[in-house]
Amino acid sequence: MKSSRKIPVVTIDGPGGSGKGTVSQLLAARLGWHYLDSGALYRVLGLMAQRCGISLDDEPALCRLAETLKITFVPQADGSPAQVTVDGKDVSNELRTETTGELASRVAVLLAVRTTLLQKQRDFRQNPGLITDGRDMGTTVFPDALLKVFLTASPEVRAERRYKQLKEKGFNANLGLILGEIRHRDARDTGRSVSPLKPADDAWILDCSTLSLTEVVETVSRRLQARLAETQTATR
Ligand code: DC
């Protein structure tokens, strides 16, 4: 067994707009653990492919691009999305748009792309621990995670949240369009044959439609403390 396996990982998977990114970052900041936003990797790839004129179904070219991109995350202590740089340039604002989400969802269906990004994601497993969010963190990337959460909320609640986020940032937003895009992306993420969006068999499913952000962070945090205590007892 590789020694990195002993480093605790918490996976927070779920559909877009469920708040998993914010919850993960707040937890990581609270614990002083590392954080990986796996969706940002797919977003960067989709965005850079478009900028470089690479077709979104040209798997070999997308994989070559994925291998060369130098991506850094600067987490924000208030839970707002991490600042993301690609080859030293800040792309944070372009990454969060619905257009980039759509590009990401299209490159994310490709097996070779997912395989290329697998080790990049596993490299984030560093001491003292990792909090990571995405679609397949618990099922595929970190199947031996200490705690697997599947965070979900109704499409309407998620659309409303995304609408507010965009408005707050000064972007033009249309609630009906966002809801349509969320439903469309859910269908693609859930229906694809490679690493589809679904809870791991041993995931804890948490519907946060009626919970505040603070309640979700507190609930997950308590569950994690219980898991850490269990593993300490087991190794004694
Ligand atoms: O979480 P997000 O909205 O930033 O994700 C963008 C897209 O990337 C989403 O449509 C599905 C894909 N994705 C994925 O397939 N696997 C992941 N682990 C994370 C994201």
Residues 6-63 pLDDT 10s? 899 999 999 988 999 889 999 998 999 999 999 999 999 999 999 999 999 999 999 9
* Smallest CA separation from ligand 1 atom 20, residue: 39
Atom from ligand 1 closest to the CA of residue 141? 18
Rounded Cα distance between 131 and 213, Å, is: 16
Supply the pLDDT for residue 1.
43
188 CA closest ligand 1 atom index: 10
159 Cβ neighbours under 8 A, 6+ residues apart:
17, 175, 178, 179, 182
Q: What percent of the chain has pLDDT over 70?
A: 97
The model's pLDDT over 126-161, given as tens digits with 9 standing for 90+, comes to 999 999 999 999 999 999 999 999 999 999 999 998
108 CB less than 6 Å from ligand 1? Answer: yes
Q: Return the pLDDT at 16.
A: 85
3-state DSSP assignment of residue 35: strand
Give the other-Cβ count within 10 Å of 78's Cβ: 9
**Angle subtended at Cα 110 by Cα 51 and Cα 177, rounded to the nearest 5 degrees:** 65
Q: Is 185 in the pocket of ligand 1 (CB under 6 A)?
A: yes
Q: How far is 31 from 147, CA to CA, in rounded Å?
A: 14
Q: What local confidence, expressed as pLDDT, does residue 5 receive?
A: 66
| pLDDT for res 97 | 85
> Closest Cα partner for 53 from 42, 65, 43?
65
Closest by CA to 108, choosing from 49, 165, 181, 51, is: 49
191 three-state secondary structure: helix
User: d(Cα 167, Cα 220) in Å, to the nearest integer?
Assistant: 28
Give the Å distance between the CA of 101 and the centre of ligand 1.
8
Cα–Cα distance, 79 to 45 (Å, whole number): 23
Q: Report the atom number in ligand 1 closest to the C-alpha of 101.
A: 6
Give the start-end residues of each E strand in the chain. Answer: 9-13, 34-37, 71-74, 83-86, 89-90, 130-134, 147-152, 204-207
Q: Is 16 in the pocket of ligand 1 (CB under 6 A)?
A: yes
Tell me the C-alpha distance between 81 and 101, whole Å.
14
User: Span 149-177, mean pLDDT?
Assistant: 92
Position in ligand 1 atom list of the atom nearest CA 42: 8
Mean pLDDT of 160-183: 90
- For residues 35 and 121, give the distance between their C-alpha atoms in angstroms, rounded to a whole number: 11
Among all chains, which residue has been given the structure tokens 């797919």?
42
